Structure 1
Amino acid sequence: MFEVHNYFLAITLCFLAMVCWGSWQNTRNVIRQPWRFELFYWDFTIGILIFSLLSVFTLGSIDPSNRTFLQDIAQAQIRFMLPAMLGGFIWNLGTLLLTAGIATTGMAVAFPIGGGIGWILGIVVNYIGKPEGDPVWLFTGCAVIVVAIIHSMLSYKRRAVSQQKSTKGVIYSLAAGIFIAFFYRFVMMSISTDISPLYTGGALTPYTSVLFFALGALVSTLLFNPCFMRHPVEGERVAMKDYCKASGKTHLIGMLGGMIWCAGQVLSVMSANAASPAIAYGLSNGAPIVAALWGIVVWKEFKDAPKGTNRLLTLMFLFYLVGLALIVYSRYA
């Protein structure tokens, strides 16, 4: 398997992971026909599984001096497979709940609550699991990012014509943030730092862990997505017959979205040992700044926003960049 040793290479890969995690949503935007998220999510999950399989047989197997995927799976133990699957299971549930929160209470409320809790609490959880990096700089960076999230919320509020108000949506978002905060730590619990072919301790390489993560996400989708289809938070209920009506192109675009997200997961976990889990998670989860750039530059979401919105967006980007720089610096402070 390909191993990352250099800290700055790891940081670069985490930034690429951030781009992937902030870009997969665009695949939904390019689907021309109205396409409910619950239906899109089936293809999205399949795409995650496909890319995880590609990664274990390519990056996960290319260096024979390290453990290949087939060698890894032969020695893997269930006590390490399950945490990776649990990580995929709870991440997937958290993502579905965050989507429900956005649908019922609006982006301006749901994203800062769910995304903010998932990001900041996730950094804390991963730092406790493996305390590397100067905590003062690390958590100062987190605090600056909280300010950026607040500016993001204010920008969306200015753009919105009306704000939806729903206690249920806030609850969805709170639950989503908590689930998302813990998924990365479970994945890290499944990974071994020893990747030699002679290792027989049962823990997984980063690439094998992503495969079991994808299997956990698939199980979670099979359990929970039918519930969202039968009891949608907005619109009429949908069924699998609606999914089957879509064109092959629509399904391929959805799978591409899952593959892009999974590419980010692969890049993040393969860098976590060199960068530390807390830093890798914190940088990779800078996805909102990428998503905001797509929304502003490509999709023109703020074209008709009120006066003063551009100033808030500029401050949002500035605080994000400062916060991310502090997180990077915390390793060598």
Structure 2
Amino acid sequence: MEGKKVYLTSAEIASLWTAYMNDSMSKCILGHMLKHIEDEDIKPAIRYAYDISSQHLKQLVEIFNEENYAIPNGFTSQDVNEEAPWLYTDIFCLDYVNFMARVGMITYSGAISMSSRGDIRHYFTTALTETSGLYNMTTDIALSKGVFNRHPYIQVPKESSYINSKKYLSGLNPFSSKRPLNAVEISHLFMNIVTNVIGVQLCLSFGQTSSSKEIQQYMQRGKEISNKHIKVFADTLLDDDIPTPRLPDMGVSNSTTPTFSDKLLMFQMSLLSAAGTGNYATGAAASQRSDLALNYERLSLEIGQFAKKGADIMIKHNWLEQPPGIEDRDMLVSNKERQE
């Protein structure tokens, strides 16, 4: 007797759709990087990242076909100008892949926790293992080249202690001194600076290569927001004499040749905005000083408004692919009534 078919759940459908969209975008960007990269130490990591995305897309298409699941449009070679000159320095390519691997690890671990079917859990578990390997590979290369942003060193605790005053949680009163940052707060501030640096460079490259005035202005706004957030986080660290990240040569070329489609540019920015919002929410929840939590909340609002503007632009130009969802039952009834 054949086993009863186990259908995909809404969470599995969502996770598979998201994975396809992200990998199809990544393959386009990585393919451009791979074509122009020169550093023989970095090139294998970019190749590995490209191969991972390519293999994932093949596996996802197989799953979609087995489930009669409409394959998303995503992104293809048509979203990349193969003749465009190099756009990113080799070090930026390394840092970008390292950043995207961090995003991937968070995404895949979430997908595993929401999936119930064994084959889907296996797919995402394997993807998480591969992405973790990519993160370790890019981190090791960056360390060997002296371009990895290590978090600040602080003194190792010699004994444990408890918080003995509510003042530990304060930080909004301008007439009282703030307590020094703790290790958890430092780690989130530092990482959010590094993430926003990636945002600045992507906005620069996207703005200067897009032929759309609307996209150029949007990317300029994104650069301004990222620079503002970097300053807020860096000033908070510097107030406690904690060093901020030392940025390596992570720049972009002066090319103005359209390299990626505007649809891809906007999708990448929406992904970056979503990652930033998640990072800020985690930072706010982990920070015990009230001024830090408030900063994260108000800066998250700014990202939200930026993301909303981006979504409006994508809808206007028919670039925003709709995630799978349920049928509008009211609409079905209305259509039936019209037919009768």
Query: Which bracket does the TM-score occupy, shorter chain normalised?
Result: 0.3 to 0.5
TM-score scaled by structure 2? 0.39
Larger radius of gyration: 2
The structure carrying a bigger helix percent of its residues is 1
* Higher RCO structure, 1 or 2 (CA under 8 Å, sep 6+): 1
TM-score scaled by structure 1? 0.39
